[in-house]
């Protein structure tokens, strides 16, 4: 099996089943910043990447893991609908 190089936006699964997304690559420091499905941020040395035995996977359908939403937030919504405000990118700007 060929080694999967990190690309920003790619999702990987560790041998223990943990999912994470590559969110940044710092070539100067030689690190890959990752965000696990539960939202935890971590960092991996690029030299250690090949030893992690990762499998590249598709992004999970349930994107809510990393945004810390409760199942109650989905009441009355159809599967796949985004919560209110997520359709408007300007809703995330600081209005203060």
| Residue that has been written with the tokens 């940044």 in this structure | 24
Residue numbers of the domain that contains 22: 11-57+66-86
Beta strands 55-57 and 11-13 are antiparallel
The encoded tokens of residue 14 equal: 């560790």
Q: How does pLDDT run across 71-94, given as a tens digit for each residue?
A: 555 455 455 555 555 555 565 566
- From the number of C-beta atoms within 10 Å of its C-beta (0-12, 13-18, 19+), residue 25 rates as middle
Residue 44's DSSP bridge partners are 32
On whether residue 95 sits in a domain, the answer given is no
Looking at residue 39, what is its pLDDT? Answer: 87
Looking at residue 74, what is its pLDDT? Answer: 47
On whether residue 23 sits in a domain, the answer given is yes
Give the number of domains in the chain. Answer: 1
Residue 34's DSSP bridge partners are 22, 42
On whether residue 2 sits in a domain, the answer given is no
On whether residue 28 sits in a domain, the answer given is yes
pTM for the model stands at 0.62
Half-sphere exposure of 19 (CA within 13 A, CB side): 15
Q: How does pLDDT run across 3-57, given as a tens digit for each residue?
A: 678 999 999 999 999 999 999 999 999 999 999 988 899 999 999 999 999 999 9
């Amino acid at each position: 099996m060929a080694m999967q190089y990190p690309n920003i936006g790619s999702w990987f699964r560790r041998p223990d089943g943990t999912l994470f997304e590559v969110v940044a690559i710092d070539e100067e420091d030689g690190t890959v910043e990752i965000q696990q499905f539960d939202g935890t941020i971590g960092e991996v040395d690029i030299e250690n990447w090949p030893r992690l035995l990762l499998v590249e996977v598709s992004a999970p359908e349930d994107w809510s893991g990393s945004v810390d939403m409760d199942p109650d937030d989905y009441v009355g919504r159809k599967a796949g609908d985004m919560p209110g405000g997520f359709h408007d990118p300007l809703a995330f700007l600081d209005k203060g």
